């Protein structure tokens, strides 16, 4: 009986690693401690040969072809920062018959259609759990566990740097600049923080998760997003008065018309909501599905070992020839991305002249006496897609806790208000 065990389990994985920064070195150390994986790094390709590294010198090369053309190497792990070189490495590796594990969210988000084609053409696995929420196994759960028709909504905090900054603004009353400086000193934000702070990192991760959740394949700039660059200490004060936190929330929700509303924007979060508990550099994902209500995933969203743990998990899965099937994309009717709905939002600003008041369906609250003014109102989502006034001139837009209002609901509310007015 003992002989019939699947040999795949003993499949030896020989790895070519691109990048030996925080994640690459974390993976190297982690692999040394997990001998059961039967995986070894044969070569590491690096950009700067002169740097001192905690690994034998003969492991390193600056020539990518040494890894890509080595027939013994059957897995390429790619954890570099630059999008275009990463795509070139990944596509060459797949075409050369190698499986690929990647952590490059920007590269994946910008090249998703091509990557899907390459996977179809080559039949090789391309796994990227580390590219979204680091240590949280969210991609594989969306792939395997949640059927399209059962998935109502996803809400997530996917960027640790911005979450760290917002946490400090709330808990230590720091203004944005000081909180950002602290994040940089602690290594949670890059010296050029705009990728994180302006929301680019979050939207790149969200593009990947939308493909696995709903089969929606979109380019990052086609989805409405913003970061936290305009959030003021005065916004945090208003949030506290209303017993809310402010988080940068990526979200997607299936609407009654079958379309999916998706965006990444700052949002007020009630204190009893799971995402309110996600502080500092942690990430969190809340999935709502039919019959299961809410499920909450929580873990470190950045850092050497948390990210390496996701890479390790993908490497381990390759022993069983695991690959993403993209069932929602290939076996379901893919829902359209919706723009025909409304959102309820808080908008703070310095001067009324920058705010197109007439664009709001209605305004529920406004405060105009202080130097920093704000209103809370309902506006068509398409207005955010078409125009940029809401992120210019120091304007800060923060969504309400349940921001999505569907067309049907708006019509009902209008009808009701007309009746009340006796019209």
**Active-site annotation holds for 205:** yes
The Cα angle at residue 36 between residues 30 and 41, in degrees rounded to 5: 50
Q: What is the dihedral of CA 276, 280, 282, 286, to 10 degrees?
A: 10
Q: Which of 341, 350, 343 is nearest to 235 (CA)?
A: 350
Side-chain-side CA neighbours of 152 within 13 Å: the count stands at 11
CA distance 54 to 20: 10
CB-facing half-sphere around the CA of 311: CA atoms within 13 A: 32
CB 163 within 8 A of CB 248: yes
The catalytic position among 98, 124, 168, 205 is 205
> Residue 274: is it exposed, middle or buried by C-beta count within 10 angstroms (0-12/13-18/19+)?
middle
- For residue 373, CA distances in Å to 75, 219, 269, 368, 394 come to 55, 35, 21, 5, 11
Active site residues: 205
């Amino acid at each position: 009986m003992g002989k019939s065990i699947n040999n795949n389990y003993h499949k030896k994985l020989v790895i070519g690693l691109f990048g030996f920064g925080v994640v690459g070195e974390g993976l190297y150390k982690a692999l040394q401690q997990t001998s059961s994986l039967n995986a070894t790094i044969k070569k590491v390709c690096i950009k700067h040969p002169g740097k001192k590294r905690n690994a034998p010198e003969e492991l390193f090369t600056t020539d990518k072809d040494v890894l890509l053309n080595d027939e013994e190497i059957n897995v390429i792990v790619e954890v570099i920062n630059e999008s275009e070189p990463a795509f070139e490495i990944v596509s060459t590796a797949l075409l050369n018959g190698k499986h690929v594990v990647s952590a490059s969210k920007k590269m994946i988000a910008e090249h998703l259609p091509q990557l899907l084609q390459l996977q179809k053409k080559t039949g090789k696995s391309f796994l990227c759990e580390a590219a979204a929420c680091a240590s949280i196994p969210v991609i594989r759960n969306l792939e395997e566990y949640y059927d399209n028709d059962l998935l109502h909504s996803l809400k997530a905090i996917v960027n640790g740097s911005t979450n760290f900054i917002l946490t400090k603004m709330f808990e230590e009353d720091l203004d944005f600049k000081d909180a950002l400086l602290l994040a940089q000193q602690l290594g949670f934000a890059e010296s050029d923080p705009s990728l994180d702070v302006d929301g680019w990192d979050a939207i790149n991760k969200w593009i990947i998760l939308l493909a696995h959740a709903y089969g929606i394949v979109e380019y990052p700039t086609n989805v409405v997003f913003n970061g936290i660059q305009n959030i003021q200490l005065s916004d945090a004060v208003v949030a506290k008065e209303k017993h809310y936190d402010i988080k940068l929330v990526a979200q997607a929700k299936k609407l009654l018309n079958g379309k999916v509303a998706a965006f990444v924007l700052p949002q007020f979060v009630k204190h009893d909501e799971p995402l309110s508990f996600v502080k500092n550099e942690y990430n969190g994902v809340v999935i709502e599905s039919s019959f299961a209500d809410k499920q909450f995933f929580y873990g470190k969203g950045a850092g050497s070992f948390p990210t390496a743990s996701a890479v390790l998990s993908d490497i381990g899965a390759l022993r069983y020839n695991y690959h993403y099937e993209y069932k929602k994309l290939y076996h379901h009717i893919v829902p359209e991305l919706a723009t025909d709905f409304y959102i309820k939002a808080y908008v703070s600003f310095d001067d009324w002249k920058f705010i197109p008041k007439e664009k709001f369906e209605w305004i529920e609250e406004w405060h105009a006496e202080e130097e920093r003014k704000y209103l809370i109102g309902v506006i068509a989502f398409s207005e955010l897609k078409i125009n940029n006034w809401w992120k210019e001139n120091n304007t800060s837009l923060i969504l309400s806790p349940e921001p999505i209002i569907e067309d049907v609901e708006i019509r009902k509310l209008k009808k009701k208000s007309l009746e009340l007015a006796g019209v």
